[in-house]
Chains A and B, each alone.
Chain A
Amino acid sequence: MLIEEQLVQRAVNGDRDAFTQIYDLHFNKIYRYIYVKVHSQAEAEDLAQDVFIKAYEGIKNYKWRDLPFTAWLFRIAHNRVIDHIRKVSKEKKASLDEAGGISSGDPVHMTELNMEIYQLKDALQHLPDAQREVATMRFISELSISEVSLALGKSEGTVKALQFNAIASLRKLLYGKINGY
């Protein structure tokens, strides 16, 4: 049994420390996944926190053999983001101000970083839903092909095709805009 599986099993059995370790292990990935889909850092933080509370509420009934834990967690995140977007967005576009939140000592550097993140979020928004999901999980949250496949309920072959197409589209969206074509 893998270490993560053991950890999850302990959490399923009610070990609160184990769940806290799971939180430490996955929080950043979940946060990044959510961040590129919503409009502000505050929303992303709140939603990421919600995901772990929902996960804790549901972990008693979780079974690894049905779905690896990461895939299960990202399904919760996916559903939570969809609910949130349905509720608040009404196709509100991300703004540069709202995309902010990355802070560094140098204001110029910080502005460059935030601009790049804004461009990335904007480009992702232009992808078809399936490509955006795969690209976000695969390249931003760094899930494996099998985890993405299980989280989205798609075959690995489909996920590979979607990630390739997503990158092809992102390339056009990112460099096309920057280079003016």
Chain B
Amino acid sequence: MAIRIEEAFNDCFERLTFGESLDSCLRSYPEHAAELDIMLRTVYDVKRRAYPIQPRPEFKYWARVRLQGVQDYMSRHVAPEKVSPFNFRRNLAISVAALVVLVIASSGTAAASNDALPDQPLYGVKMVVEQAQLSLATSDIDKAQIYAQLADKRAHEIEALARQGKADYLVSTSAKMDYQLEQAENYISKFQAANTVSPAATMEATTVETSTDETTDQPTRTAPATDKPEVPPAGTSTTDTSDRPVWTTPAPATTLVKPPYTDNKSRNEKPTVKQPLPATRATANVIKAKTALNTSTAKSLATLQDALDKAPESAKPAIIKAIERVKKANEWSQQNFNSDQDNKPEIIIPRPKYIPPTTNRLNSPTTNTVKPTVILPNTQKLVPSTSVISGTSEQ
């Protein structure tokens, strides 16, 4: 059976690559020799032309250096493996961790290890229990709270070590605390990013409360009496017992409109439609975690200040460093905590609210004593009190 020319060509090409001569190869395929000769010479010419194509040696060198830089970076920043909640290994790990916690806790060793210091044999048990706690945490918020608690434990260890004059372990314990605070912050930030919970996002979720005047960075004022506000469909209005009149519509909150602000910019804005419920939950979770971090760091600060008073001179630099770190975390949590509190739960309820400008928004002392008036839905009007609007609309 005659060999196909493609096969013969490939065979000859391989043999030439290994050093055989062209004539020798052609003799093996006399029926294709003429054509093979031309084709193999073409291959030779292609290879000859391509031969000078080589990377510049200096580029190859620097590319290798850059690759090694990437290797260094990746070895330091190992991405967390994404796992399915149904992942068998993860579930197994959680089960094992739970079992470890149960066994250790039931044996009383865990309780005994709770006060263990790094120089004591039970400290290892304490670490295992903490790792098990972390393994059992299923959400970023849970992890953040656990890390905040663990950081506070480290602060207490630092205090105990300082009190007992065991300066050798201060640096490593302080480093652990630093890591745990960092993890707490990271998990909160990660959750915020994943759920787009930020002060700005939370403000959006509140939907209608204020409109900011870009030029003054102050809330804009209410409408003149003649400017009729849009209102929700009839039969949907209520007032609450607080100073703030509130009208609500039945869920879903899709008919909410902006209140009648005096400036044209605000008046021309389209009604805002929001679905605040997910933001509410996410914000509540963030606040919960930040509160935990804030509380824990406040306690830690007091503990470490106490430790600083008792510590020998040699231990003080490590404690001062730890205090600085805790202060930083405390400020971080406080800063974010405050901004979230400003926008938070009571105004991020699932139903939209109309909240006319209040004292804080208007900076007007007159509004402290005057309760704004709400015309209920049967009149289809919402008229803010004249004293409320006097700050701007009458100007």
Q: Which A residues lie at the B interface, using CB under 8 A?
A: 16, 19-20, 23-24, 27-28, 31-32, 35-36, 41, 44-45, 48-49, 52-53, 56-57, 101-102, 113, 116-117, 119-120, 135, 139-140, 145, 157, 160-161, 163-164, 167-168, 170-171, 174-175
Chain B residue contacts of A31, Cβ below 8 A = 53-55, 60
Q: A31–B53 Cα gap in the complex (Å)? A: 8
Q: A78–B63 Cα gap in the complex (Å)? A: 19
Decide if A170 touches B67 in the complex (CB within 8 Å): no
Chain B residue contacts of A35, Cβ below 8 A = 53
Q: A145–B6 Cα gap in the complex (Å)? A: 12
- Among B10, B47, B50, the residue within 8 A (CB) of A36 is B50
Chain B residue contacts of A56, Cβ below 8 A = 67, 70-71, 74
B243 at the A/B interface (Cβ < 8 Å)? Answer: no
Chain A residue contacts of B43, Cβ below 8 A = 139, 167
The 9 closest A-B pairs by CB, nearest first: A171-B42, A164-B6, A31-B55, A49-B63, A120-B49, A140-B50, A116-B49, A160-B6, A102-B52
Q: Which B residues lie at the A interface, using CB under 8 A?
A: 5-7, 9-10, 13, 38-39, 42-43, 45-47, 49-50, 52-56, 59-60, 63-64, 66-68, 70-71, 74-75
Decide if A27 touches B6 in the complex (CB within 8 Å): no
Decide if B55 touches A57 in the complex (CB within 8 Å): no
Chain B residue contacts of A28, Cβ below 8 A = 54-55, 60
Q: A20–B64 Cα gap in the complex (Å)? A: 7
Decide if B64 touches A113 in the complex (CB within 8 Å): no
Q: A19–B55 Cα gap in the complex (Å)? A: 19
| Given known A57-B74, A120-B49, A161-B6, contact A48–B55 (CB-CB < 8 A) | yes
Decide if A52 touches B67 in the complex (CB within 8 Å): yes
Q: 13 A-B pairs, CB-CB below 8 angstroms?
A: A16-B71, A19-B67, A19-B71, A27-B60, A28-B60, A32-B50, A119-B49, A120-B46, A140-B47, A145-B10, A160-B7, A163-B6, A171-B42
- Among B5, B50, B59, B67, the residue within 8 A (CB) of A120 is B50
Q: A171–B63 Cα gap in the complex (Å)? A: 35
Q: Which residue of B lies closest to A50 (CB)?
A: B63
Whole-angstrom distance between the Cβ of B388 and the nearest chain A Cβ: 57
- Among B46, B56, B68, the residue within 8 A (CB) of A20 is B68
